[in-house]
Amino acid sequence: MRVDAADRQPIASETPQPVEPLDETRPETEPGVAPPIADESQSTLSDDAKEEEADFSWLDEDLPPEDEDEDEEDGATPAVTAAPRRPQVAGDAGFRLREEARPQPAGPAAPQLTWLQRLRAALGRSSTQLTGQITSIFTKRRLDEEVLQDFEDVLIQADLGVETAMRITDRLSEGRYGKEVSGAEVKRVLAEEIEKALDPVALPLELDLEKTPHVILVVGVNGTGKTTTIGKLAAKLTRAGLSVTLAAGDTFRAAAVEQLKIWGERTGSEVVARPIGADAAGLAFDAYDTAVKNGSDVLIIDTAGRLQNKAELMAELEKIIRVLQKREPDAPHTVLQTLDATTGQNAMNQVDIFRNVAGVNGLVMTKLDGTARGGILVAIAAKHRLPVYFVGVGEGIDDLEPFKARDFAAAIAGVEAEAISESA
Ligand SMILES: Nc1nc2c(ncn2[C@@H]2O[C@H](COP(=O)(O)OP(=O)(O)OP(=O)(O)O)[C@@H](O)[C@H]2O)c(=O)[nH]1
């Protein structure tokens, strides 16, 4: 079956948001009633519990073999009136089912404007800064070395990366050297080149349901939005009719566990949690079994992100992966890294680190709203060429959007998407 689809740094808010049960998405879950938490007896969290770390050395022993055994519209909360009995995934949901047997209904026309407006609003600061500088550089000046150098500097300051900045200035100078160039023309060239850089990485998340559960391990530095992204993703998947189990693998922070439980309630997903300080690999192992037992299509595992204690964190991630592979050799099927757009160049370095240790094979860029540093996504795409599945444009449940190269390029360059398509 195929489905496409240290020490802690301070974070903006660790307070779980109020619960708004998504009762319409999962009728089998009573509105407002929390789904069962695996091993409820252990779910009470306390500092004392840190002392009680279980012995998971048995995980290193060989295990007996296993038995063989959205209609989301662009940028808007999907109008779900009844839970689909079978997954129905819209073409633009940002993920897709590989399984041929799972049909993709045509669905209603997507309200593109809503999504574009949201993206433009999200990238407003990145775009305003960049386009303002373009206007001041190019007004009443002929294209010469000095202008091109000023332009290149602006692009580098906008975090687009040296390689992309040089490609854009080269392309601009082609046939225009010595001439006056309008700001509109510069923005169009900018948008086209950004789209070219992003297009290869704008891919839907592929969920392979041949062997359920499809395991998604979510990694990234703390505060980059792992838990929030997991919640938003669970909402997308459950709305499409897939069943999801969540594993609270950030066993270092009580607030992260509580936050995940709330997302579990909101999305009707079972949450597997352990006391603070518990072994994250053991939890992942149990969560896999829980997801098998409850028939989940997807298991999403949260992790800690204490980069300051790098050796310990990396050992923990490696152990989680090793342990999961005792159950399913291909797990985790997706290793998703969250990147906080507001951290600019740091985000690039974080990909270097987590890619090596955890085998990251997909990215989600969060907090694109309210940052002037959205350009970093272009530099990361050019360097790492990893798929970017979604972008986070706010803290709400609907603020996770499938990544679309053209829309992103147009929004950041401050042009209409049609302007790119006409001239590209
Ligand atoms: N504005 C905005 N805020 C976001 C976005 N994604 C996450 N956040 C906020 O960022 C903060 C940190 O998010 P978390 O999901 O707790 O991050 P985390 O990586 O799980 O952090 P740890 O649990 O500490 O490892 C929270 O206040 C979120 O609401 C986004 O796309 N936009």
Q: Is the CB of 195 under 6 A from ligand 1?
A: no
pLDDT value at residue 88: 67
Does residue 199 have a known ligand-binding role? no
User: 126 near 375, Cβ under 8 Å?
Assistant: yes
Q: Give percent of the chain above pLDDT 70.
A: 72
158: confidence class by pLDDT, cuts 50, 70, 90: confident
Ligand 1 centre and the CA of 293: distance in Å? 30
Distance 46 CA to ligand 1 centre (A): 23
Q: What tens digit of pLDDT does each residue of 29-62 get?
A: 333 333 434 443 333 333 443 333 434 343 344 3
CA 205, 209, 212: angle at the middle one, nearest 5?
120
Q: How confident is the model at residue 394 (pLDDT cuts 50, 70, 90)?
A: confident
Most informative mutation of 14, 17, 227, 228 for ligand 1 (most atoms within 8 A of CB)? 228
User: What share of the chain in percent tops pLDDT 90?
Assistant: 46
pLDDT of 99: 58
Residue 92 — very low, low, confident or very high, per pLDDT cuts 50/70/90? confident
CB 126, CB 154: distance < 8 Å: no
Q: Which residue has the higher pLDDT, 388 or 132?
A: 388
Query: Residue 54: its pLDDT value, please?
Result: 39
Least Cα distance to 173 among 153, 189, 194, 158 occurs for: 189
Q: Would you say residue 167 has pLDDT above 50?
A: yes
Does residue 225 have a known ligand-binding role?
Answer: yes
* Ligand 1 probe mutation, 266, 366, 390, 401, most atoms within 8 A of CB: 366
Which of 20-24, 80-84, 107-111 has the highest mean predicted lDDT (pLDDT)? Answer: 107-111
Q: Six-digit token pair at 59? A: 């995980």
Q: What's phi and psi for 306, nearest 5 deg? A: -80, 85
Q: Is the CB of 25 under 6 A from ligand 1?
A: no
Whole-number Å distance, alpha carbon 146 to ligand 1 midpoint, is: 41
Q: How far apart are the first and last CA of the chain?
A: 37
Residue nearest atom 27 of ligand 1, based on CA coordinates: 13
| Residue matched to tokens 């692009």 | 155
Q: Ligand 1 centre and the CA of 366: distance in Å?
A: 8
Q: What atom in ligand 1 is closest to the CA of residue 17?
A: 29
What is the residue type of 424?
A: A
Q: CA 424, CA 416: separation in Å to the nearest integer?
A: 13
**φ, ψ of residue 421 in degrees (nearest 5):** -65, -35
pLDDT band at residue 97 using 50, 70 and 90 as cut-offs: confident
Q: Output the pLDDT for position 140.
A: 79
- The beta strand positions in 285-386, using DSSP E, are 298-301, 334-340, 362-366
Overall average pLDDT of the 287-313 stretch: 90
Is 306 annotated to bind ligand? yes
Q: Distances from the Cα of 193 to the Cαs of 189, 199, 391, in angstroms?
A: 6, 10, 20
**Mean of pLDDT over the chain:** 77
Taking CA atoms only, the protein residue closest to ligand 1 atom 14 is: 225
Is the separation of the CB atoms in 260 and 302 below 8 Å? yes
Q: What is the pLDDT of residue 75?
A: 38
Helix extents (H) in 48-123: 112-122
Identify the burial level of 411 via C-beta atoms within 10 angstroms of its C-beta, where 0-12 means exposed, 13-18 middle and 19 or more buried. Answer: buried
Residue 367 Cβ inside 6 Å of ligand 1? The answer reads: yes
Residue 322's pLDDT is: 95
CA distance 119 to 114: 9
Using the structure block, give the residue that is written with the tokens 């098998």: 292
The DSSP symbol for 59 reads G
Domains of the chain (ranges, CATH numbers)? 3-61+70-102+203-403 (3.40.50.300), 117-200+414-423 (1.20.120.140)
The pLDDT tens digits of the residues spanning 169-211 come to 999 999 898 898 998 899 999 999 999 999 999 999 999 888 8
Given pLDDT bands bounded at 50, 70 and 90, which one contains residue 414? Answer: confident
Protein residue with its CA nearest to atom 10 in ligand 1: 225
Look at 124-128, 215-219, 317-321, 352-356 and tell me which has the smallest mean pLDDT: 124-128
Question: pLDDT higher for 421 or 409?
Answer: 409
For residues 197, 200, 205, 206, the Cα torsion angle rounded to the nearest 10 degrees is -170
The amino acid that residue 142 corresponds to is R
